[in-house]
């Protein structure tokens, strides 16, 4: 009995130790997040039961809890092999209170409104729709998660890195004794994406094991962390400019800023940096910058590769609408492929939250006199037209205040078109443009600034807009040609195409974006008004952009052009938008639901100007007499030859491609230039074996860029594989004209275009006149 009692006491002692250790880990993470003593965070750490909703018949209780790392949610399932599901806080895009999601609206009763909330993910995974036991509890879940999200997103790069390292150390400590033996150190190295030769790992371990105890603890673990996180490349830069008794003076810092970073800088600027980033008060009082202070400064937003002024709205938004590239989506309602994938209002929300300013609605007759949206003649699911409009109304202007174009592909009967018009009018109200702005018949588009907060309808119209200002009525003829995009028909099939009856109520809502057939540039110049626009299948648009680029540019000065993917892209793949932008096409519609390099380029194009979804075209593409041709760039205002020097120095904390513990990336970096054909180029570094934590390349490249205003630079990191094609790791794309010179950090994005919180690439950029 005594033995049993002793074992019980020992077990209880271990439990108490584990609890104390767990509390210590939590306290460390809570302190880092700045949420000490916060009741909402304590509520999340305690966790609780919630009802998970998938359908009207599938509603099951799930236990949800924030883990001690304060960055992972644990979800307990009653499934035999799925009892420990987790998801990172970083994966959460937003938390929505109430029955806002499609699933909750469809599968729960209205009286549960105040108890419902949804966790929306950045990736293409489904929402987590949940019901709490009370209104107050639902509010506390949402409040706690939003607070946690905000604080995690506001961590500095240094804090994010420390948080991640700390939790990797915790995971490596398998026996939870707050010590690391050699085996656990090797486990830690693999967790942070380093594969080390055993002998080297042993040398590293022995160098840190000052006590010669066979394990690392306390200060020894900190020394291990310091050795691994040391930024040798930044130390070298610091030593070059630290000319004042081993420190960097304000004068030294000004020299660095002007010589390396090519920035105008004064002593006042240097003093401000020292005050903000120097951690040692005694050093700060002497107006000096230590190595630690310089390291902190080199990880601040001012050192990012993207010109911080371009992050905000910086372009003239008073030009006519046709003078802008407009972020545009094709078949916006689809979450996956074009044949059998689901349609969802969530797809509209995701596109709009990414600053998409032109969304497509593929409209067909539905039951109960309610029009539906889906990809006609396929097995894609259907959503109600009115639900899509409601979602668009709610999310259209959350990311950008600038106008949203609703591109209607209309296959409905006259009766259901009238229903569409009623929904548009009643739901969008005064935000819907139903008459030209100002007095009298306009001769040009209004500007994005004048159209702020407004919706424009793109579709067929029964008559000319000029008829609104004369006694001419639409007449009895309600026939128009069916929508161009309904299929990829041949010319013969185009002639046989049936006529579509058009409801006057819907027709009258088409003001600035009347869909017409394209019969050539000469015909368009002679016979089409500025508001009459054509949609081009990618193949035809690419042909025009290659063979008649200058004529296309002239056409797009005064008129809008929309380009859409070929019908053969049933997998929702995308085409390269760059040649179409080079030809001045404004509405280059892509499948936003597909992760690919083309969407990376699109995201890079619209990264700047406050993520407004509108980018002002260069002046030479807004001039009706422009002689610019991207395929044969002759001398002109557009030709401003530059030489781009890029030194790829190092990367930090790259994600694993394969989540297996033993899998370590062999990263290489590709630098790609997109723009006019003469400027297109790709160069790549060598691969670094078994190091995704802090790989170092120090490789330099040089590129010639002749038309910088149309160029984009894409940095892509791949996991080298000698036996097959390389795997994508991360990327970042930005306009050439938004590059900052000097030593620069860049954030990295995953395949879906979402930020990888801890990862980064360090480069040196120099742009010179050629």
Q: Confidence class of residue 83 from pLDDT cuts 50, 70 and 90? A: low
Q: What is the mean pLDDT of residues 460-476?
A: 77
What average pLDDT does range 462-489 have in this prediction?
A: 66
Taking 50 as the threshold, does the pLDDT of residue 490 lie above it? no
Q: Which residues in 431-470 are b (16+ Cβ under 10 Å) and which e?
A: ebbeebeeeeebeebbbbeebeebbbbbbbbbbebeeeee
Residue 79 counted as an annotated binding residue? yes
CA 703 – CA 671 distance, rounded (Å): 10
Q: The tokens of 61 are what?
A: 């209780």
Q: Which of 310, 323, 375, 554 is catalytic?
A: 375
The three state secondary structure string of 185-200 is HHHHHHHCCECCCHHH
**Residue 506 is inside which H or E element, if any?**
helix 504-507
Q: Which of 331-340, 612-621, 649-658 has the lowest mean pLDDT?
A: 331-340
Say if residue 75 carries a ligand binding annotation: yes
The pLDDT tens digits for 390-429 are: 999 999 999 999 999 999 999 999 999 999 999 999 999 9
Mean pLDDT of 183-197: 81
Residue 6 scores a pLDDT above 50: no
- The annotation status of 720 as a binding-site residue, yes or no, is yes
In Å, how far are 126, 145, 400, 611, 724 from 93, measured between CA atoms? Answer: 12, 11, 17, 17, 34
Please give the pLDDT value at position 758: 81
* 666 annotated as a binding-site residue: yes
pLDDT at res. 56: 92
* CA neighbor of 682 nearest in space, from 709, 723, 713: 713
380 pLDDT higher than 50: yes
Report whether 76 belongs to an annotated binding site. Answer: yes
Per the structure block, which two tokens stand in for 738? 């938004």
DSSP β-ladder status, 85-88 and 216-217: unpaired
Tokens of 608: 């700047």
Lowest average pLDDT, out of 383-387, 495-499, 581-585, 654-658, goes to 495-499
The reply to whether 330 belongs to the active site is yes
pLDDT for 640 beyond 70:
yes
pLDDT at 340: 75
Q: Is the Cβ–Cβ distance between 75 and 67 less than 8 Å?
A: no
Are β-strands 48-53 and 59-66 bridged in parallel, bridged antiparallel, or unpaired? antiparallel
The pLDDT assigned to 82 comes to 54
Record the pTM.
Answer: 0.88
Cα–Cα nearest to 680, from 688, 672, 668, 669: 672
C-alpha 226/C-alpha 161 separation (Å) is 12
Give the max Cα distance, the chain. 106
676 or 122, higher pLDDT: 676
Calpha distance 287→283 (Å, rounded) = 7
Model confidence at 479: pLDDT above 80: no
- What pLDDT is stored for residue 495 in this prediction? 46
Does 64 carry a binding-site annotation?
A: yes
pLDDT (mean) for 38-50 = 92
The answer to whether 523 is a known ligand-binding residue is no
Query: Hey, what domains does the chain have and what are their CATH numbers?
Result: 33-154 (2.30.29.30), 158-229 (1.10.238.10), 232-303 (1.10.238.10), 323-466+500-621 (3.20.20.190), 642-769 (2.60.40.150)
**How many DSSP H helices and E strands does the chain contain?**
24, 32
Q: Please say whether the beta carbons of 572 and 537 come within 8 A.
A: no
161-175, 350-364, 561-575: range with lowest mean pLDDT: 161-175
Alpha helices in 329-371 (DSSP H): 345-353
Instruction: Note the pLDDT tens digit of each residue in 123-153.
Output: 767 889 999 999 999 999 999 999 999 888 8
Q: Report the chain's terminal Cα–Cα distance, integer Å.
A: 89
Query: What is the share, in percent, of the chain residues with pLDDT greater than 70?
Result: 90
Of 599, 561, 594, 596, whose CA–CA distance to 577 is shortest? 599
Q: Are strands 85-88 and 72-76 parallel, antiparallel or unpaired?
A: antiparallel
At residue 441 the predicted structure's pLDDT band, cuts being 50, 70 and 90, is very high
Q: Average pLDDT, whole number, for the chain?
A: 89
pLDDT score for 15: 47
Residue 342 has pLDDT above 90, yes or no: no
Residue owning tokens 């030489």: 643
Does 56 belong to an annotated binding site?
A: yes
Strand partners, 85: 75
Residue pair 532/525 in contact (Cβ under 8 Å)? The answer is no
Per-residue pLDDT at 75: 83
Neighbours of 268 (CB within 10 A): 9
Question: What secondary structure letter does DSSP report for 739?
Answer: B
Q: Are 606 and 613 contacting, i.e. CB atoms less than 8 angstroms apart?
A: yes
Contact between 533 and 561 (Cβ < 8 Å): yes
- Residue 306, CA distances (Å) to 258, 263, 603, 609, 745 in order: 18, 14, 14, 12, 9
Percent of the chain past pLDDT 90, that is, above it, reads 66
Q: Which two tokens stand for residue 723?
A: 């036996």
Any binding-site annotation on 460?
A: yes
In angstroms, the CA 656 to CA 161 distance is: 16
Instruction: State the catalytic residue, choosing from 323, 330, 554, 764.
Output: 330
Report which listed range, 146-150, 374-378, 685-689, is most confident.
Answer: 685-689
Decide if 375 is catalytic.
Answer: yes
Residue 535 assigned as binding residue? yes
Q: Are 567 and 544 in contact (CB under 8 A)?
A: no
């Amino acid at each position: 009995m005594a033995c049993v009692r002793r074992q019980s006491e020992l077990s209880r002692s271990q439990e108490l130790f584990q609890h104390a250790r767990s509390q210590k880990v939590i306290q460390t993470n809570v302190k880092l997040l700045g949420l000490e003593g916060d009741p909402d965070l304590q509520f999340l750490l305690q966790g609780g039961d919630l009802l998970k909703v998938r359908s009207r018949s599938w509603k099951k209780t799930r236990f949800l809890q924030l883990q001690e790392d304060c960055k992972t949610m644990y979800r307990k399932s009653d499934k035999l092999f799925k009892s420990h599901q987790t998801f990172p806080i970083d994966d959460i895009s937003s938390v929505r209170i109430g029955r806002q999601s499609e699933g909750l609206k469809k599968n729960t009763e209205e009286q549960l409104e105040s108890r419902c909330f949804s966790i929306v993910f950045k990736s293409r995974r489904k929402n987590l729709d949940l019901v709490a036991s009370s209104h107050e509890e639902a509010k506390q879940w949402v409040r706690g998660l939003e607070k946690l999200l905000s604080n995690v997103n506001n961590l500095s790069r240094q804090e994010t890195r420390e948080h991640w390292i700390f939790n990797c150390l915790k995971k490596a400590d398998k026996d939870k004794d707050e010590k690391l033996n050699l085996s656990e150190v090797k486990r830690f190295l693999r967790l942070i994406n380093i594969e080390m030769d055993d002998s080297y790992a042993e040398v590293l371990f022995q160098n840190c094991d000052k006590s010669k105890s066979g394990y690392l603890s306390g200060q020894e673990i900190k020394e291990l962390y310091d050795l691994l996180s040391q930024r040798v490349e930044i130390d070298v830069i610091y030593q070059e400019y630290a000319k004042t008794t081993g420190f960097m003076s304000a004068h030294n810092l000004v020299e660095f800023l002007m010589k390396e970073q090519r920035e105008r800088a004064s002593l006042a600027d240097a003093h401000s940096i020292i005050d903000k980033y120097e951690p040692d008060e005694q050093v700060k009082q002497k107006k000096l910058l230590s190595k630690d202070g310089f390291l902190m400064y080199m990880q601040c937003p001012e050192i990012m590769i993207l010109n911080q002024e371009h992050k905000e709205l910086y372009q003239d938004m008073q030009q006519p609408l046709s003078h802008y590239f407009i972020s545009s989506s094709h078949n916006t309602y689809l979450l996956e492929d074009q044949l059998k994938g689901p349609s969802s209002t969530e797809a509209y929300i995701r596109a709009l939250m990414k600053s998409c300013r032109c969304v497509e609605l593929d409209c067909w007759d539905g039951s109960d006199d309610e029009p539906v949206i889906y990809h006609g003649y396929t097995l894609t699911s259907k959503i109600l037209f009115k639900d899509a409009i409601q979602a668009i109304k709610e999310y259209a202007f959350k990311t950008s205040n600038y106008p949203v174009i609703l591109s209607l592909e209309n296959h409905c009967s006259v009766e259901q078109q009238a229903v569409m018009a009623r929904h548009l009018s009643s739901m969008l109200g005064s935000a819907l443009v139903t008459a030209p702005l100002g007095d009298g018949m306009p001769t040009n588009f209004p500007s994005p600034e004048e159209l702020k907060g407004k919706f424009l309808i793109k579709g067929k119209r029964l008559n000319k807009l000029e008829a609104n200002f004369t006694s001419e009525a639409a007449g009895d003829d309600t026939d128009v040609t069916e929508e161009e995009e309904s299929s990829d028909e041949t010319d013969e099939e185009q002639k046989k195409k049936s006529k579509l009856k058009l409801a006057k109520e819907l027709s009258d809502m088409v003001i600035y974006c009347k869909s017409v057939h394209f019969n050539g540039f000469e015909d368009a110049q002679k016979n089409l008004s500025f508001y009459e626009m054509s949609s081009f299948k990618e193949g035809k648009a690419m042909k025009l952009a290659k063979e008649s680029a200058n004529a296309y540019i002239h056409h797009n000065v005064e008129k809008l052009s929309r380009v859409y993917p070929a019908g053969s892209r049933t997998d929702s793949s995308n085409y390269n938008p760059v040649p179409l932008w080079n030809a001045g096409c404004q509405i280059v519609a892509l499948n936003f639901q597909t992760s690919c390099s083309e969407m990376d380029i699109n995201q890079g194009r619209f990264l700047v100007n406050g993520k407004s979804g509108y980018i002002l075209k260069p002046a030479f593409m807004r001039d009706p007499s422009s002689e610019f041709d991207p395929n044969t760039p002759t001398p002109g205002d557009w030709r401003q030859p530059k030489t781009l020097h890029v030194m790829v120095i190092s990367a930090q904390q790259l994600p694993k491609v394969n989540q297996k513990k033993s899998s370590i990336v062999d990263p290489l970096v590709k630098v790609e230039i997109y723009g006019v054909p003469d400027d297109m180029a790709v160069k790549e570094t060598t691969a670094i074996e078994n190091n995704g934590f802090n790989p170092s390349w120090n490789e330099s490249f040089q590129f010639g860029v002749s038309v910088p205003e149309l160029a984009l630079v894409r940095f892509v990191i791949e996991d080298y594989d000698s036996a097959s094609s390389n795997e994508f790791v991360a990327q970042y794309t930005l306009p050439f004209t938004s590059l900052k010179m000097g030593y620069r950090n860049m954030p990295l994005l995953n395949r879906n275009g979402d930020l990888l919180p801890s990862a980064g690439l360090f480069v040196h950029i120099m742009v010179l006149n050629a």
